[in-house]
């Protein structure tokens, strides 16, 4: 029996679409199935709408700063419904772009859930069956909801972009980058934000000094941050109107929950408060359930991740997986790079492992945190290091009377002089770390940084002017 497709992709996010297009460009016959909106988490429920909301939330600070510089600016009311309409229109446009890219590549799109029946057989929800020489799982991830009575009263990150109006107050549960980004966004939009995190400090896994500065900045913005704290119990309080979530942003298979009026929350620190809404940002899980993978021999890990080798191949030779469903590094550019390596390996005859070393990332808090390489804590556990670090008030905000500080930090190997890690907490840190990551990836030494002439006056010039380590370890 022959094959209907050379490649069938399950999942229409960044990784799946890139793999489909690139494979089709080699002459392969490719099909793709997606059960929700094209574009996946990044375009529809993640990076893109989040960053647009980051932009929206930054204007109150910008207008206050403009006033200090002599402009007659003042902060007016924020029109969430108008913003939401424009946001959804932009996401609709981007979804159309993704569909157009597939159409232009000659890849038919099947708007149905799909599962695997055999190593080479895909079955759509409408009963259609396809045989494919290779199958790629690119179904991404989804937010977790805690196992807590009445947890369905709360939102998860997918729901935020569909709010019909802003709550006056919100409790955000979690301390990772999604929780912290949402706390800063909503606080910037005028929402009274409380944040609970059960750990000792937010942004676990990032450099301790950097995440400490971010936490201080968040508190200075009025975010009521409580570490070592979690929800003990929650339930509806009173009969105030619901704060509904719009259907347009919901995955097709599940309408999002709405907050049924105020929610009373008892915390492990003994407090009891009422919030308009609760947002759970307590982690994400791979979207591997219901695909029939284990039934045909694909190994699934403890958190539901599809287990793959360095070439993104599963235990079943015809089945591969890329992106968040593998739970390697859950970032859009990583999923895209994994997809490109997959196509090079399978369709171009160039076995290409994925390079997951020294991947830069940014947390879009206020200020932003950009990072690449080892944290100080990780590095000193491996070898002797020198730490070069400076914290200061940047010229622009200091002139306006803002007391906030930024951080520039390099972690350097004493033996090789290579820069092992770079960590920046500052406005536009995401832009800066992208450029610094090139040098770190190339193996630049501290002396390479020192030989680079500073661009003055900038914040980033401090990365090449720090001459003496602040500490060794």
pLDDT at 409: 98
Q: Structural domain of residue 193, as residue ranges?
A: 145-282
Positions marked active-site: 456
| 254 pLDDT tier (thresholds 50, 70, 90) | very low
Contact 308, 326 (CB under 8 A): yes
Same domain flag for 161 and 275 = yes
Distance CA 376, CA 381 (A): 9
Assigned domain for 383 exists: yes
- The answer to the question of residue 254 being in a domain is yes
Please give the pLDDT value at position 248. Answer: 38
325 and 255 housed in the same domain? no
Please state, for a pLDDT cut of 90, what percent of the chain lies above it.
93
Pairing of the two strands 109-110 and 30-33: parallel
Residue 354 lies in a domain: no
pLDDT of residue 263: 95
Mean pLDDT, residues 444-473 taken together: 98
Q: Are 315 and 214 contained in the same domain? A: no
Lowest mean pLDDT among 228-232, 260-264, 325-329: 260-264
pLDDT for res 237? 87
Query: Domain for residue 191, yes or no?
Result: yes
For residues 314-337, average pLDDT? 98
Residue 415 in domain:
yes
> Final residue of a domain: which of 320, 346, 372?
346
Q: What angle in degrees, to the nearest 10, is found between the helix axes of 80-104 and 47-68?
A: 140
Does 251 score more than 80 pLDDT? no
Q: Which residues of 172-204 are buried (b: 16+ CB within 10 A; e: fewer)?
A: bbbbbbbbbbbbbbbbbbebbbbbbbeeeebbe
Is the per-residue pLDDT at 258 higher than 60?
A: no
Which pTM does this prediction carry?
Answer: 0.94
Are 328 and 211 in the same domain?
A: no
Last residue of one domain, picked from the residues 265, 282, 299: 282
355 domain-assigned: no
Report pLDDT for 244. Answer: 53
- Kindly report the number of other CB atoms within 10 A of residue 342's CB atom: 28
Over residues 49-59, mean pLDDT:
98
- How much is the pLDDT for 242? 45
Mean pLDDT of 350-376: 98
Q: Are 176 and 203 in contact (CB under 8 A)?
A: yes
The SS3 of residue 92 is: helix
- Interacting residues of 114 by C-beta distance below 8 A, sequence separation 6+: 10, 33, 35, 122, 123, 124, 125, 291
In a domain, 157, yes or no: yes
Which among 381, 352, 358, 360 has a CA at the least distance from the CA of 443? Answer: 358
Question: Mean pLDDT of all residues in the chain?
Answer: 94
Tally the domains of the chain: 3
Q: Which of 267, 282, 297 finishes a domain?
A: 282
Closest by Cα among 220, 228, 219 to 175: 228
| CATH code, domain with 383 | 3.30.390.30
pLDDT band at 134 (very low <50, low <70, confident <90, very high): very high
Q: Please check whether residues 169 and 278 belong to one and the same domain.
A: yes
Average pLDDT over residues 387-392: 98
Give residue 259's pLDDT. Answer: 47
230 inside domain:
yes
CATH number at residue 176: 3.50.50.60
Are 93 and 172 in a shared domain? no
336 has a pLDDT exceeding 80: yes
């Amino acid at each position: 029996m022959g094959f209907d497709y050379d490649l069938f992709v399950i999942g229409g996010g960044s990784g799946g679409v890139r793999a489909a297009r690139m494979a089709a460009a080699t002459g392969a016959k490719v099909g793709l199935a997606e059960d929700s909106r094209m574009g996946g988490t990044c375009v529809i429920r993640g990076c893109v709408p989040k960053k647009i909301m980051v932009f929206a939330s930054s204007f109150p600070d910008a207008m206050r700063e403009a006033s200090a510089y002599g402009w007659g600016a003042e902060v007016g009311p924020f029109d969430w419904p108008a913003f939401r309409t424009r946001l959804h229109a932009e996401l609709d446009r981007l979804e159309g772009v993704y569909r157009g890219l597939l159409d232009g590549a000659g890849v038919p799109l099947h708007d149905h859930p799909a599962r695997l029946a055999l190593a080479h057989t895909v079955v759509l929800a409408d009963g259609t069956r396809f045989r494919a020489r290779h199958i790629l799982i690119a179904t991404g991830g989804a937010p977790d909801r805690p196992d807590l009575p009445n947890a369905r009263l709360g939102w998860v990150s997918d729901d935020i972009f569909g709010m019909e109006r802003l709550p006056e107050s919100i409790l955000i549960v979690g301390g990772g980058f999604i929780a912290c980004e949402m706390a800063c966004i909503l606080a910037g939009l005028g929402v009274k934000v409380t944040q609970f995190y059960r750990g000792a400090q937010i942004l676990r896994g990032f450099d301790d000094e950097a995440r400490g500065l971010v936490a201080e900045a968040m508190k200075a913005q009025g975010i009521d941050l409580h570490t070592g704290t979690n929800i003990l119990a929650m339930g509806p309080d009173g009969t105030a109107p619901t704060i509904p979530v719009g259907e347009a942003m919901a995955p097709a298979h599940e309408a999002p929950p709405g907050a049924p009026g105020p929610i009373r929350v008892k915390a492990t620190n003994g407090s009891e408060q009422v919030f308009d809404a609760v947002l759970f940002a307590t982690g994400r899980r791979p979207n591997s359930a219901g695909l029939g993978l284990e039934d045909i021999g694909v190994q699934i890990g403890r958190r539901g991740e599809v287990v793959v080798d360095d070439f993104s191949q599963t235990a079943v030779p015809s089945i591969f997986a890329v992106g968040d469903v593998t739970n390697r590094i859950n970032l859009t550019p990583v999923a895209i790079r994994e997809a490109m390596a997959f196509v090079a390996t399978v369709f171009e005859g160039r076995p290409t492992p994925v390079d997951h070393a020294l991947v830069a990332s940014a947390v879009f808090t206020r200020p932003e945190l950009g990072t690449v390489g080892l944290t100080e804590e990780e590095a000193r556990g491996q070898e002797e290091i020198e730490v070069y670090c400076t914290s200061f008030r940047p010229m622009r905000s200091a002139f306006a009377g803002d007391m906030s500080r930024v951080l520039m930090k390099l972690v350097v190997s004493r033996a090789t002089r290579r820069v092992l890690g770079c960590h920046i907490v500052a406005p536009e840190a995401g832009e800066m770390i992208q450029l610094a990551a090139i040098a770190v990836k190339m193996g630049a030494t501290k002396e390479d940084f020192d030989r680079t002439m500073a661009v003055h006056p900038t914040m980033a010039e401090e990365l090449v002017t720090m001459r003496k380590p602040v500490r060794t370890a």
